[in-house]
Structure formats: structure tokens, C-alpha cells
Amino acid sequence: MSVLDFTMKDIDGKNVPLAKFQGKVLLIVNTASQCGYTPQYKGLQEIYQKYKDQGFEILAFPANEFGAQEPGTDDQIKQFCSSNYKVSFPLFSKIVVKGKAIHPLYEFLTGEATNPKHAGPIPWNFAKFLVNRKGEVVSRFQPGVKPESPELSSAIEKALAEK
């Protein structure tokens, strides 16, 4: 099983099979609109612009588990991201990223059995999972790692270089 086996609802409520991203490098991020890390949307948009033509996508999953910092509806989240950060990468419908009601995608991303190298609960908003072109998680970055950091850029470039 890989990340590409999941189907998710986008911010407009349409089903999106993640298999459509096969052959691309993905950065999967749980996001929030009222968090100290919310300005990372700017950096995410910058790295998306920098790498998208090389086969890179960012998949943003709003979540309200941490400090109730994503209370809005999907429409409100979409409007916020568009008007404040000009986000053009894929935004998905709000999901649960930890606890008993965890979404199966995040259960897969954080599970010891399914992702032993990068397992463990999501600590806060803006945790990042880097996924290679085959749908395998290759790196995990903590919320405090900025999208434009050399550490993340280097990992993205390495994943993009692998065919």
C-alpha cells in the first residue's frame, strides 16, 4: 500500500484519487488558518512555484485538532488561502489527523506498521511528509521546519532527481 492508494475529497468536495499524482514528488501537509505557523502557506506557495514544473505537488489537508486553529468551513478555508496567500497548490477538505477519528491517510502516514521510518503522531499543524514518485514516504519534517528551509529544499531536490 502507498499514499497513492487513497482517494480524498478536495476543498470543493470532489473525490480525488491520489493515484492521479503518480510519478510526482508530493509534500503532504496538515494545515490551519489561525496558527503561529500559518505564514508557512507563503513558503509552501513559493516552493510549489519553484518545483511544480519538475513534477512536484503540495497536498494541503486542513485540520482542527491543534488548538482548534482551523474552525472554518471548507469554503472559508479556500477563501482564506486564496486571498491571503494566493495558494494554487491542491487544498483538500478538512480531515482529522490524530486520535480515534484519524483519517485513514494519516493513519497510514503515522502508523508504525505502514510507515516505520517516519511513524508517530502528528505533533501540531504544518507537519510535512515528503513522498517520492512511487508513493513512498521518504522524509518527515516537524512543524517548525519552514518550507523554504535548506533541509526541506535539499530533500525535495533529491526526490525530484530520482526517476
Active-site annotation, residues: 35
Using CA atoms of 110, 115, 120, 122 in order, give the dihedral in degrees to the nearest 10.
-30
Q: Retrieve residue 112's grid coordinates.
A: 508504525
Count other Cβ atoms within 10 Å, centred on residue 55: 15
Contact 45, 87 (CB under 8 A): yes
| C-beta of residue 56 within 8 angstroms of C-beta of residue 25 | yes
Q: Dihedral of CA 27/59/46/81: which sign? A: negative
Q: How far apart are CA 49 and CA 19, in angstroms?
A: 22
Contact 62, 91 (CB under 8 A): yes
